[in-house]
Amino acid sequence: MNKEKIIKLVGNKFFTISFIKKDGTLRKMNARLGVTKHLKGGKKSYNPDDFNYLTVFDLGKKQDRTVNLNTVKEVKANKETLTF
């Protein structure tokens, strides 16, 4: 999975991402990158790039979520679809 490819497609717009969760179920999420409004400080205890993770803002739950890029199936944004 190419993180740069996703970021280039999505930019700062809303997008839909489908991926396999840790428990093996498929999750479809409306999200956005770079949202800082809801941050409360603190720092992650790990570097997401070390694990091939992407941090997104889940628009439904209004919280940050971490997506494993190795399990991404599809990304839709700007009337384009990337399928993996």
pTM for the model stands at 0.85
pLDDT tens readout for residues 14-64: 999 999 999 999 999 999 998 766 656 667 778 888 999 998 999 999 988
Question: In this structure, which amino acid lies at residue 76?
Answer: K
pLDDT number for residue 1: 56
- The answer to whether 54 touches 67, Cβ cutoff 8 Å, is yes
Nearest-CA neighbor of 14 among 76, 83, 69?
76
Beta strands in the chain (DSSP E): 15-20, 26-32, 53-58, 63-68, 72-77, 80-83
More confident residue, 11 or 41: 11
